[in-house]
Amino acid sequence: MAPTLLPKVSIGSSTFSRMPLLERRKYHKLGTLSCMSLIVNKMIGTGIFSTPAIIFQYCQGNVGLYLFLWLVGGIIIFSGLVIFLEFALNLPFTNGGEKNYLLRVFRKPKGLMGCIYSFQMVLLGFSSGNAFAFGKYVLFAVNGEEIKEEEWSVKIIGVLCISFCIFLHIKFPNQGTSLFNLLGVFKIFILVLIIAIGLLVSVDIIKLPTTVDNFSNLFESTTKKDNNYYSISVALLEIIYSFKGWENANYVLSEVSDPYHVLTIAAPSAVVITTILYFLVIISYLIVIPKQELLDSGVLVAGIFFNKVFGESITSRILPIIISSSNLGNVMVVSFAHAHVNQELARNNYLPFSKYFEDINNSLLLHWFITVIIMVAPPSSEIYEFVVNLYIYPGTWINLLITIGLIYLHLNSRGEKWGKHNTGNGLETNSANNSIYDDNDNLILQLNDDSYTEFDSLISVENDNDTSKFSAPIICIVIFLFSNIFLAVFPFFPPPSDSSSSQSIIPYWCFPVVGTSVLLSGVAWFYIRRWFHTWRYDKYKIGEPNVKYEDDYSTN
């Protein structure tokens, strides 16, 4: 549920990530199918196995609303994808994703958006939810049922899970990469199996001990409480968490063979396929699990599903182990990817003690530390829901800024030279100043002396082929804009006093306040970072006296 790893190449991924941009172009590896796999495998994380019951609770057991929100979530994600595609295809094909888009639009003060984005990625890019879900499914497989008194055992297993992943990435990085690629297969297998079982139950080929009828009164709630804006907004946040990873290919554009052709096919196809799979899985849950049990199943909804079908058999124990293996693979992917993101941000001096975190092992340990703190600190009974909301919420503000930025670019397309995609052909390096020009000698990217850092003055590369222009439809921009306003604002409004959210141990306002505070911390860091680096050098003689920042090299 985060930026992905670089593809494995013959020269080694660590060397590859440090290569000059133009040298990377010779090692393009990702075609259409590879990009689809990259997106689908990242989107299908632990969310679809763990959040459906929590979302159903926010819908008050209303099946019609439940299904509708999953469809709305898919539409929101697809709209966001189209917006991200416009940015990707109108800028030089470099890695970075949202960071590049924010820096392109909000160029003054230079570097402010880079600091905000960095604090979000580092402080809130944790693996706590996935590690906690791993612990839940391991104990469920051992006990055959959920034992709520063992929440601290779940946390301990979760800490061991993230510790194992970090150890593997530090000591045996190649084996770690191979292992999470293998574990990724389990996720798709489990989804297809759940859909197949739901189909067989619906046609009475598989008989259940008790009849389940969740579709007779679609819009009837199981409680007397009315649905409210708070519960709907949080339910949508949980759904979007399940889809996290749709933007994955945007982070690795330098490694895509033909970005315009590949992205316009692979990314929409991957999102549509995953949305269909998710919707069929949700229907399968409703076919097999009675409403009340679905409301009470919590993180273990997939485990309860298999128990209802196979009973207390060895099969119902083995399948949760497979799901936990999927969770382990997701923790490995996210920890690897986020550590590399931390490293790249440190190289551009967006972080405190950046010199220290330029070492990938130190960036891995930073990810471990934040993951453990977030997993251990909250009350056990509500940790998963809080962690998921805290992880996904700040992204709504980032998405909102990106969408507003795209509207600005559309309204000022001529002055901003916006509107035609980058073909990426004929790029050459000017050895005198390490700048990249197109065929018409227009500057499109300027590099520092090491020739590997991307910068904030990215502009569109104009060409004469009007048919190649890619622009997000206005309907997608409107949907993504207002959906993110809704998701960003309404969690601050208190839920009704009789709702479960108002009676929670963790206050309803906690995750939006913490998430927003982290973004504001990035603003504070932007204004003190130059003083901090100068003071640190003067006092301890650590680092460089005149630290260079990514935004120092930008052009006007």
| pLDDT of 139 higher than 70 | yes
User: Which range has the top average pLDDT, 8-22, 149-163, 391-405?
Assistant: 391-405
Which of the four pLDDT bands, split at 50, 70 and 90, describes residue 461?
A: very low
What average pLDDT does the segment 101-123 reach? 85
Is position 487 within any domain? yes
More confident residue, 216 or 283: 283
Q: Which amino acid belongs to residue 528?
A: I
| pLDDT of 17 higher than 70 | no
Alpha carbon dihedral 518, 5, 31, 76, in 10-degree steps, equals -30
Which of the four pLDDT bands, split at 50, 70 and 90, describes residue 424?
A: very low
Is position 7 within any domain? no
Q: Mapping DSSP to helix (H, G, I), strand (E, B) and coil, where does residue 443 land?
A: strand
More confident residue, 446 or 399: 399
More confident residue, 381 or 115: 115
Q: Mapping DSSP to helix (H, G, I), strand (E, B) and coil, where does residue 493 land?
A: coil
More confident residue, 474 or 355: 474
Give yes or no for a contact between 470 and 90, defined as CB atoms under 8 angstroms apart.
yes
**What is the tally of structural domains in the chain?**
1
The enclosing domain of 297 has a CATH number of: 1.20.1740.10
Sheet of 443-446: strand order equals: 428-430, 435-437, 443-446
- The sign one gets for the Cα dihedral 328, 332, 337, 341 is positive
What average pLDDT does the segment 357-386 reach? 83
What average pLDDT does the segment 53-67 reach? 90
Is position 424 within any domain? yes
Distance CA 482, CA 454 (A): 31
What average pLDDT does the segment 145-151 reach? 67
More confident residue, 435 or 287: 287
Average of per-residue pLDDT values in the chain: 76
Is position 417 within any domain? yes
pLDDT, residue 332, reads 82
| pLDDT of 271 higher than 60 | yes
Which of the four pLDDT bands, split at 50, 70 and 90, describes residue 148?
A: low
Report pLDDT digits (tens) over 529-548.
777 666 554 443 344 444 44
Is position 199 within any domain? yes
pLDDT, residue 34, reads 73
| pLDDT of 293 higher than 80 | yes
Report pLDDT digits (tens) over 301-320.
888 888 888 877 776 678 78
Distance CA 188, CA 192 (A): 6
Which of the four pLDDT bands, split at 50, 70 and 90, describes residue 252?
A: low
Is position 385 within any domain? yes
The full 3-state SS of 308-327, as one line of letters, equals HHHCCCHHHHHHHHHHHHHH
Q: 467 CB contacts (<8 Å, ≥6 apart)?
A: none
Report pLDDT digits (tens) over 465-479.
344 467 889 999 999
Q: Which two tokens stand for residue 42?
A: 């990242």
User: Which range has the top average pLDDT, 222-236, 323-337, 357-371, 498-512?
Assistant: 357-371
What average pLDDT does the segment 209-234 reach? 80
Distance CA 550, CA 288 (A): 54
| pLDDT of 6 higher than 50 | no
pLDDT, residue 280, reads 95
Is position 353 within any domain? yes
Q: Which amino acid belongs to residue 363?
A: S
Residues paired with 437 in a beta bridge: 428, 443
pLDDT, residue 126, reads 80
pLDDT, residue 447, reads 40
| pLDDT of 399 higher than 90 | yes
Which of the four pLDDT bands, split at 50, 70 and 90, describes residue 9?
A: very low
| pLDDT of 519 higher than 50 | yes
Q: 363 CB contacts (<8 Å, ≥6 apart)?
A: 339, 340, 342, 343, 346, 357
User: Which range has the top average pLDDT, 146-150, 422-426, 466-470?
Assistant: 146-150
Report pLDDT digits (tens) over 318-346.
878 888 887 887 788 778 777 877 887 88
Query: Closest Cα partner for 467 from 421, 407, 426?
Result: 421
Of 24-33, 132-141, 169-178, the one with minimum mean pLDDT is: 24-33
Q: 441 CB contacts (<8 Å, ≥6 apart)?
A: none
Is position 541 within any domain? yes
Domain containing 203: what range?
13-460+468-553
